[in-house]
């Protein structure tokens, strides 16, 4: 199972082995990652699963599609160039070692 890391503050990182096929939002909720709430269950209604893939990881996960891009305007912490909604990213073996910043 790929290893995913969420940097939730300067001195706290949550690390978990995550099954392939679920979304990064679901993985975060299962691991009680703060501020990744996923309140709409991944239907692009809420913008509460905001993450930023660190450095070259952004290129690996790719850019947001149209609707996700629109919803990123409604995040609680203002979006940056590398912002994503983690409900739109599915866990694959390729993402082993992924590091995500949780804004806020």
Partner 1 sequence: MTIWNPTDDGHADLSSHDSFVAGVPHNTFTRMRRESPLEWTEWKGGEGFWNVTRHKDILALNRNYALLSSAQGIRMEDQTYEEYLARRTFQETDPPEHTRVRMKVARAFSGPVIARFESQIRQLCRDILERALAKSEFDATREIARQLPMRMLGRILGLPDADLEWLVSKGDELIANTDPEFTDHVLDRMSSDEYRMMPFNSPAGAELYAYARQLMEEKNRAGDTGGILHMVLQPDESGSAISDREFRNFFCLLVAAGNDTTRYSIAAALHAMCRKPELLQQLKRADDGIWSTATDEFVRWASPTMYFRRTATEDFEMHGKEVRANQKVLLWFVSGNRDERQFDDPFNLDLRRSPNRHVAFGQGGPHVCLGIWLARLELKVLLQEFTKRVAAIEANGPHRFLRSNFIGGIKSLPVRISRA
> What does the binding site for partner 1 look like in residue numbers (CB under 8 A)?
29, 32, 39-47, 67, 70-71, 73-76, 78
Distances (CA, A) of 17 to 13, 20, 48, 94: 13, 10, 22, 13
CB of 24 to partner 1, least distance (A): 16
Contact 53, 99 (CB under 8 A): yes
CB of 67 to partner 1, least distance (A): 7
C-beta closer to partner 1: residue 59 or 70: 70
C-beta closer to partner 1: residue 19 or 55: 19
Q: How far is Cα 64 from Cα 33, in angstroms, rounded to an integer?
A: 22
């Amino acid at each position: 199972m790929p290893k995913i890391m969420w940097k939730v503050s300067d001195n706290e990182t949550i690390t978990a082995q995550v099954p392939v096929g679920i979304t990064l939002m679901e993985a975060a909720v299962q691991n009680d990652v703060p501020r990744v709430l996923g309140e709409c269950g991944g239907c692009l209604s809420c913008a509460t699963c905001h993450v930023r893939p660190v450095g070259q990881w952004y290129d690996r996960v790719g850019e947001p599609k149209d609707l996700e891009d629109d919803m990123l305007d409604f995040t609680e912490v203002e979006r940056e160039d590398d912002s994503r909604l983690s409900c739109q990213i599915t866990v694959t073996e390729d993402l082993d070692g992924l590091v995500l910043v949780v804004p806020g």
